Structure formats: structure tokens, C-alpha cells
Amino acid sequence: MRMLVSLLVFMSLSSLAFSDENASSYILPRPLIFETHELKSAAAIYDDDSVNVNCTSWRFAAETNNLAPWKTIPAECAGYVKDYLMGRGYVVDLERVSEEANVYASSFGFSGGDGKDTWIFDIDETLLSNLPYYLEHGCGLEVFDHTKFDKWVEKGVAPAIAPSLKLYEKVKDLGYKVILLTGRRENHRVITIENLINAGFNNWDELILRSLDDDHKTATIFKSEKRDEMVKEGYRIRGNSGDQWSDLLGFAMSQRSFKLPNPMYYIPEVGKTNSYSII
């Protein structure tokens, strides 16, 4: 499979690891063919296939939230995950979820409406990609390091995920109230706004970051509470886009949720023992 994926690879992110003043370079995916491999022996194909089956299975279990909380990807899947991220797999998945959300968002047919129809977006790995950082840190093979990651965030150069930018603009055009709800902390508000704007995101209605009061809360509780406030103010949460189940589950859930792929890291819900409960 690694051979097959490598035959044609449509993305290169290497240049994105560096700060760039040109906003257009902040957008993923950018097509670029950079690698070909010769045919392998049947034995090598079998080895590849065995890893492929196991790692696809691991990814299925991660993406459907079947796994116990995990801190790093399985070592045997390091190449598989990198190939997925750098190959067509990730892009195709991102495009599909954007298109499905687009079709759903367009299905309500309100023109103007009462301004209460709302769409929520997470930021990291949903609107902005930290792939340049993770490519430098094993794509999930290294345990998450807050200090190093914060330094990356503070550069403010995370590129847009292009299919998400497309959806973002669509839901704005359709008249949805757009809320950005992120686990990033308030002290990163300014750089986050700068990064979002440079990456092409504009005119959101609200940007909610984690305040000091929210610091002890799990991602699921923090985000559920914020959604609950919106519901109590009369907003209808029609859609919610996020790469973590902690963006989507809990209470005051959206009418439909869209799970973006993320095989690199996992943000725990409520210790996974009462994460799915109605609280």
C-alpha cells in the first residue's frame, strides 16, 4: 500500500513549515507530484499489506471513537499514517466531509431566516492545519509536547485546510451564524485571529477560546457548556465540524456532526467513562 500511495502523491507541505507572508500559500492542498517507486516483490507487498490492514483497522477504530484514549500512534503505523497524510487519502477524506456538510447545510433553504441557524467549527485540524508541525514531530509518533506545540501556534502560520475554507465560505453565504469554538487558550487569541485571517478566514460571528475558568474542564465539557449557552439563547446548532469526538459529543449536541479525519492525536473526552452520557 505504501508503494501504491507513493506512486502518485499530490501534496507537498514541506514549504509550509516555514513562515510565509503570502496568505495564498497558507492553503492546503497544493498539488505536487514528487515521488515514484519501483514495483516491489510479492513478499514485500504481503508485508506492506499486512501493515496496511492492521493500520487501516487502527485508523477505523480511532476515527469511530472505538479506541481507549491513546497518546501516540502505533509504531508500526508511523509510515502508514505519514503516507496517508502526505498522499491523496487525507485530501480525499477532507474534501468528502466538506462536500457532505455543504449538501446538508444547503438543504434548509432559509433565505435570510431569523439569524438563529448556527454552524460551529473547531480550529486545529478543522480550519487550520498543524501538519507542518506534526511532520517535524513524527505525525503522532511522539507524545504531545505542549511547550513545543505552543511555540508553533505562536508563529501563526498554520495553513488553511482548503476544503474546510470552502465549507466555511459556503455556510457564511447561506446565512449561518458562524462560531469558532476551540480548545486554544485566551492568551492565543491575537495570534489565532492573525493566523485565521492570513489563512483566508474572515467575518466569523464569534471566536470562543478557553478562558482560565475553563482550564480544569475536559474538552467535551468545555465545548458542551458553550453549545448549551447558545441553545439557551435560542440558537439552532445545525452543524458542527470537528476532528475530535470531544468537539462533537457531550450535551447540547449539534443536529448533525461532521467528523474530520485526524490519525495524529486524540484529545480525551471525560476520561471515557461517562463521555457519552447526557449530563
Enumerate binding residues for a second copy (CB under 8 A).
1, 4-5, 7-8, 39, 42, 45-46, 48-49, 52-54, 56-61, 63-68, 87-89, 92-93, 96-97, 100-101, 103-104, 107, 251-259, 261, 272-278
Peptide bond into 261 cis (omega under 30): no
Nearer to a second copy, 23 or 67 (CB): 67
Nearer to a second copy, 5 or 180 (CB): 5
Q: How far is the CB of 220 from a second copy (least distance, A)?
A: 13
Q: How far is the CB of 188 from a second copy (least distance, A)?
A: 28
265 three-class SS: coil
Contacts of 256 (CB under 8 A, 6+ apart): 104, 238, 239, 240
Nearer to a second copy, 43 or 212 (CB): 43
Q: How far is the CB of 264 from a second copy (least distance, A)?
A: 15
185 three-class SS: strand
Q: How far is the CB of 22 from a second copy (least distance, A)?
A: 30
| Cα distances (Å, whole numbers) of residue 107 to 102, 103, 163, 233 | 9, 6, 19, 24
Q: How far is the CB of 53 from a second copy (least distance, A)?
A: 5
277 three-class SS: coil
Amino acid at 132: P
CB 101 within 8 A of CB 176: no
Q: How far is the CB of 224 from a second copy (least distance, A)?
A: 10
Nearer to a second copy, 69 or 215 (CB): 69
Nearer to a second copy, 31 or 213 (CB): 31
DSSP 128: B
Q: What's the CA gap between 41 and 60, in Å, rounded?
A: 28
Nearer to a second copy, 185 or 272 (CB): 272
